[in-house]
Chains A and B, each alone.
Chain A
Amino acid sequence: MLGLIVVIAFVFYFLIWVSVNAQLQAVKNGTLPVPAGGTTQLEQTLRQIAPDRVAQFGVSVVAGLGSVMLIVFAASHVGTEFGWGTFRTLLAHGASRSGFLVSKAVSLVLYAVVFMIVGSIAAIAASYTVSAVAGISPGSGVDFAEVARVAVKSGYTFLPYMALALAIAVWSKSAGAGIATGLVVYFAESIVAGILVSLNKDYAQIVNWGLSRNASALTRTVSGQAGPTSQDPTASTLPDPTQAAIVLGIYCAIFLVLAYWRLRSRDVTVGG
C-alpha cells in the first residue's frame, strides 16, 4: 500500500502535466479554440504541480486516496483475524481481548502516520521531478511546515473512518462489511450533507455533527482559500476547526468503545 501511494503520486503529477500541457499546446497550435478567459486557468492548473503548492495540492491528493485505502486497510487488518481464525488462536494462547483491540488500534494509527509521511514525501519528490521535466519554476520551494501541518490534519481525519471500519469488522467478523460500510459512509455522507446544505444552509446545524463536514472543516488551510474544500460553496457553513477536531475525536472513541463492548461480550467459537 505504501509503494502504491508512491507510484500513484508520481503518476498523478505526471498525468496532470501531460494533459494540461497537451491542452496548452493544442490551443497554441489552433487545434483547440482559445478558452473564454484565455489560457490563464490552464497555466494556473499547471502551476499546481510546482513544489511550492505541494501542501495544497499534493498532500490533498494523497489524503483523498489515503482515506479510501486506509478504510480498506483498517477493516482488513481486523476482519482477516476472524476470517483466518487467528483471533481465536491468539486468545487461546493467553492474549486479552482488550490487548488485541488496543494493539490493532495503535498499529492502525501508526500505519496512518507512516502512510501520510511516505505519501507527503512522494508528493514532494513527484512535484520536484515533474516540475524539472516540465520546466516549471519551483517558486519558493516546498513549505515543509505547511506540508506537515496539512498532513497531520488530513491524517487525523482518517481516524474516525478507520475506527468505524474497525468497529464494523469486529461486529460483523468480516473485513468486507467493514470496508463496505466505511466507504459508503465516507462517500455517501459527504454527498448527502453537501446536497442538504446547498438546499438550505440551516441544515448545516444538523449535518455539521457528522463525519464528513467536520473532516472538511479540519482540512481547510488557515486562509480558507485553498485545500480540499476550497471549491466548496458551502464552506462558510463548516464548523469551527477546533470543534471539528473534538467531534472527530469523540467519534473515534465511540467506535472503539462499541468495538470493545462487542469483542468483550462475544463468545468465541469457530473463527472468532
Chain B
Amino acid sequence: MTVQPQEVVLRTKGLAKRFGSITAVDGLDLEVRRGEVVGLLGPNGAGKSTTIGMVLGLITPTAGTAEVLGRDVGVRREDALAGVGAMLEVTSFYPYLSGRDNLAAVALLRGGGALARVDPLLTRLGLAQRGGSKFRTYSLGMRQRLGIASTLLADPALVILDEPANGLDPAGQREIRELIRELASENRGVLLASHLLYEVEQVCDRVLVIKKGKLIASGTLAEVTRGGSSYFEIVVGDKARAAQILRGLGVKEIRETPTGLDVVAEAERGAELNRALASAGVYASALIPRASSLEDVFIELTEPEAPSAPPAS
C-alpha cells in the first residue's frame, strides 16, 4: 500500500521582503501540509510576523510567492484566504461589541455556514458564559481565545496562529495545545509561530527556524535536535582539574556549571571521559549524557554571536 502525500495547503517560494535597507525575510521556502502542525521559530525580529503578513496578503512581498491551496495570494488573495483562518499576534476586535457579535461580524464576512459556527466555537473555546460581554471587558487570555475561535469560523484548511498562548494561564496553554493537535487531526494544516519552545516541542510535527529572515533549520523535531550537539553533564568537585584532564583528551567545549561541568562530546565517549577522570584521581559523582533540546538547538542556531560562559581554567 502506498501512502498518499498529504495535500500542501501553504507553499512559499523565495518569499522576500525588504523595508528600505533592512531585509526582513530573505528568500523563504516553506510548506505546510494537511494534518500537520508546523512550528515557525525565530528570535524577535527574525521575520516571523512579516512572513505571516505576506502569507495573508497584508504585506506585499518584494519577491517570491505565497500559495494557499494552490492559489497565489498575490493574485487571488480573497480566493486564497477563503481557506485560511488566521490569528495575529495582537488580537483586535471591536471593543464596543460583545465577543459573540464580533464573531458574527467576522462570520458575515466569511459567508457560508460561518454564522452557525459562532455559538459552538464560543463553547469550544470556553467563552460561552462571556459571549455576551463586551470585548473591551475581556482579559488577555479571553481575547486570545476569541481570536482562536475566529480562525475556525470559515472551517479552514490552513490555520495560522501567531503566539496563541500569549496571556493564557498554564491550564489555558494546555487547552490550546490540545486544540492545536485536534485541528491537525481534523486534517487541517497548522502554522504556529511561538516563542514557547516547550509548546512547539509538544505540538509540532515539523519546525522551521528562521533568523534574520532566512531559513536556517527545518525538519521534524528529531531531525532538528539531532543537528544540535550532545553533551555530558558532569558533577564533580575539582572543576579546574577535571577541565584540564578533559582538554587533554581533545575536548574543546567545556562550560562551567554550579555543580560541575557541561562537556560537549560525542555520546559514545562517556566511558572514556569517566575513565580518564578516575585514572587521574578526580571522581565524578555523576556523568549524565544529555541530548540537545529544541531550546538548546534554537539558542545555538539563533544566537551564535552570544558570548559563552568563560571556559573553566
A94-B154 in contact given A88-B58, A267-B53, A268-B58 (Cβ < 8 Å) = yes
A75-109, CB under 8 A of B: which get 1 and which 0?
Answer: 00000000011101111111110000000000000
Residue pair A88, B82 in contact (C-beta under 8 Å): no
Residue pair B90, A92 in contact (C-beta under 8 Å): no
Residue pair A91, B93 in contact (C-beta under 8 Å): no
Residue pair A89, B57 in contact (C-beta under 8 Å): no
For residue A270, CB closer than 8 A to chain B, the reply is: yes
Tally of A-B Cβ pairs under 8 angstroms: 61
Residue pair B58, A85 in contact (C-beta under 8 Å): no
Write out the residue numbers on chain B whose beta carbons fall within 8 Å of the beta carbon of A86: 92-94
Would you list the 6 A-B pairs with minimal beta carbon distance, nearest first? A85-B92, A94-B81, A268-B58, A267-B59, A92-B86, A89-B92
For residue A269, CB closer than 8 A to chain B, the reply is: yes
Residue pair B77, A92 in contact (C-beta under 8 Å): no
Query: Which of A94, A267, A269 has the most chain B CB atoms inside 10 A of its CB?
Result: A94
Interchain nearest-CB distance for B40 vs A (Å): 16
For residue B106, CB closer than 8 A to chain A, the reply is: yes
In B27-85, which residues have CB < 8 Å from any A CB? 49, 53, 56-60, 77-78, 81-82, 84-85
Residue pair B53, A268 in contact (C-beta under 8 Å): yes
For residue B88, CB closer than 8 A to chain A, the reply is: yes
Identity of the chain B residue whose Cβ is nearest the Cβ of A87 in the assembled complex: B92
Identity of the chain A residue whose Cβ is nearest the Cβ of B89 in the assembled complex: A270
In A153-196, which residues have CB < 8 Å from any B CB? none
- Contact among A89, A94, A95, A268 with B93 in the assembled complex (CB-CB below 8 Å): A89
A256-272, CB under 8 A of B: which get 1 and which 0?
Answer: 00000000010111110
Identity of the chain B residue whose Cβ is nearest the Cβ of A99 in the assembled complex: B78
> In the complex, A269 Cα to B92 Cα: how many Å?
13
Residue pair A94, B90 in contact (C-beta under 8 Å): no
Write out the residue numbers on chain A whose beta carbons fall within 8 Å of the beta carbon of B77: 96
Residue pair A84, B58 in contact (C-beta under 8 Å): no
Write out the residue numbers on chain B whose beta carbons fall within 8 Å of the beta carbon of A91: 56-58
A1-36, CB under 8 A of B: which get 1 and which 0?
Answer: 000000000000000000000000000000000000
